[in-house]
Structure 1
């Protein structure tokens, strides 16, 4: 192996830059230096950190183009502005948010590959969902993360599948209600109900879109009995968060609640279609899950008497429609 190849591999494997970016966003450096030049000493005093280590952090990120030196300190560059404000990027990089905290589970990848178990529990002492329940700010940041992830794709998802066939849709684990609100707005004859552990944000979302008369919220878990008799039970980015054992429990609840001619609709980045290999590893270390392929979904669903009717790509995800055989 040549020295160039070795250096390339070492750069790919280095944790210095990924962690430097996360620490900078967590400290709010890009926003603080966006409209003003500040010295390291001034910044360190404002943040309550040590000036010499902070200077090392800023120096490294300056070599990468996120900050620039000025006669009076440091300033965020145009490139560095991508780390400012509230965006999917900043929500995922901030170590105080659910997304940033979850990424630290990658330090336990060896454990996950060896055992098939998530690394999150090993890193943080409890599983991801228990961590969110114990820390409301983490739950709030996770809802923001999902809203950011889905926002661009929801209009395409709402228009790219025949949701209007369903008089009633139950959205399971839909968080802030972003997807269900988009579907209901595009299909005025459809009514919806969102089921999640905390429905406060979802209620606000429906009110914001003027959907209170067609959207209801129910506090609950998709592992418990579900509202019965709906035409469709919707699982958006749910099953990939769980291993097969828990995925079977979720599907069993859906089939138990569905009308005889009801449908189970799974929306996810499906393996071999939209899902990338990096996301596969993320699902593993955080949840012990994975981005299943179409044939894996079919095998999973068959145990519950479900037959795959169609697969439609829309909004950066695949929509798998199952009927009860």
Structure 2
């Protein structure tokens, strides 16, 4: 329970691409050190620890190999970024190290650990690293792909006429809604419009969809029938969520809808995913919220729940202006 040595050794190995290099035939500590510009003695000592931890093997000739556990570290995307956020060269990998600030956060709940550790926010650093941003979008999109069809079928999106996907990433959700509802038009707003523009073009949806570079912390395009907030509310503190929902409410006016599409924490007070909840806290100062907590934040900006629907394990919460 006190071991930080093995997790850090694994992260170093992943960052240096040791599993991939072993799989490619660089089997000795000397060869691996030369290929990674590392100190041979120190690297060998780390690798020997990974042997004792069951991640690597080593034969009598000093050649290293991968165990079944080590084989799992070979999984990577087309940019060579480990999807489990083990690579310390990425924003997400560095974010894990912000957990050294957990005692400070426990004592002072207003500290955002990532910002305290690095002097800038997770989102600022993500914006500076295109490869990390692309990886982040892909991870989010993979989770959405599993649910987009059910989300599209579980609400009458076509009746809205047009929607704005607020912070919609690479456009996976919006593209799925447009494919399922032929009369629907959509706009996506996110920090970088490029990935979503490519998604819409590749799906043949450019005539009904556009992507705009912008921030949901600023005013949004006016007059759409619906404003979608999906997988965002847990990434921000209460003030941030109020700002996002407030901009949606202002843009929707009295006729439009604000639609939160998300998986909420259990109402009985036990976090359904405590690891994710703590990551939200440390990375962004956010939290995994219950449906009632989101309802209360929405009420603070003049929105009330008008309908609730289910799409597998997710909820579709429709909000409307209380000024109607």
TM-score > 0.5 by shorter chain: yes
Note if 1:320 corresponds to 2:310: no
Counterpart position of 1:80? 70
Choose from 4, 9, 18 the match for 2:7.
18
Please give the alpha-carbon distance, in whole angstroms, between the structure 1 residues aligned to 2:48 and 2:156.
53
Shift of 1:36: 2.7
Counterpart position of 2:35? 46
Note if 1:216 corresponds to 2:210: yes
Task: State the Cα RMSD in Å.
Answer: 2.2
Please give the alpha-carbon distance, in whole angstroms, between the structure 2 residues aligned to 1:291 and 1:250.
16
Q: How does 1:290-309 map to 2 (within 5 A)?
A: 290-309=287-306
Asked if 2 retains the 8 angstrom alpha-carbon contact of 1:231 and 1:259, the reply is no
Deviations along 1:218-270, one digit per CA (max 9) or x if unpaired, are 11111222111111111112121111112111111111111423211112331
Q: 193-202 or 253-262: which moved more?
A: 253-262
Note if 1:263 corresponds to 2:257: yes
- Give the TM-score normalised by the residue count of structure 2: 0.88
Note if 1:183 corresponds to 2:177: yes
Choose from 153, 157, 163 the match for 2:151.
157
Asked if 1 retains the 8 angstrom alpha-carbon contact of 2:258 and 2:320, the reply is yes
Please give the alpha-carbon distance, in whole angstroms, between the structure 1 residues aligned to 2:242 and 2:44.
51
Note if 1:233 corresponds to 2:227: yes
Please give the alpha-carbon distance, in whole angstroms, between the structure 1 residues aligned to 2:275 and 2:219.
34
Note if 1:99 corresponds to 2:92: yes
Please give the alpha-carbon distance, in whole angstroms, between the structure 2 residues aligned to 1:56 and 1:97.
24
Shift of 1:193: 0.6
Change (3 A) 1:313 1:176: same
Please give the alpha-carbon distance, in whole angstroms, between the structure 2 residues aligned to 1:271 and 1:65.
35
Asked if 2 retains the 8 angstrom alpha-carbon contact of 1:312 and 1:320, the reply is yes
Asked if 2 retains the 8 angstrom alpha-carbon contact of 1:23 and 1:94, the reply is yes
Residue 90 of structure 1 aligns to a residue in which SS?
A: coil
Structure 2 alignment gaps of length 5 or more: none
Counterpart position of 1:36? 25
Counterpart position of 1:7? none
Shift of 1:20: 2.0
Q: How many residues align?
A: 314
Structure 1 alignment gaps of length 5 or more: 1-10
Counterpart position of 2:282? 285
Q: How does 1:170-209 map to 2 (within 5 A)?
A: 170-209=164-203
Choose from 241, 247, 268 the match for 1:247.
241
Please give the alpha-carbon distance, in whole angstroms, between the structure 1 residues aligned to 2:47 and 2:142.
28
Q: 40-49 or 13-22: which moved more?
A: 13-22
Change (3 A) 1:315 1:91: farther
Q: Which runs of 4+ in 1 moved over 6 A?
A: none
Asked if 1 retains the 8 angstrom alpha-carbon contact of 2:15 and 2:87, the reply is yes
Please give the alpha-carbon distance, in whole angstroms, between the structure 2 residues aligned to 1:197 and 1:132.
10
Residue 193 of structure 1 aligns to a residue in which SS?
A: strand
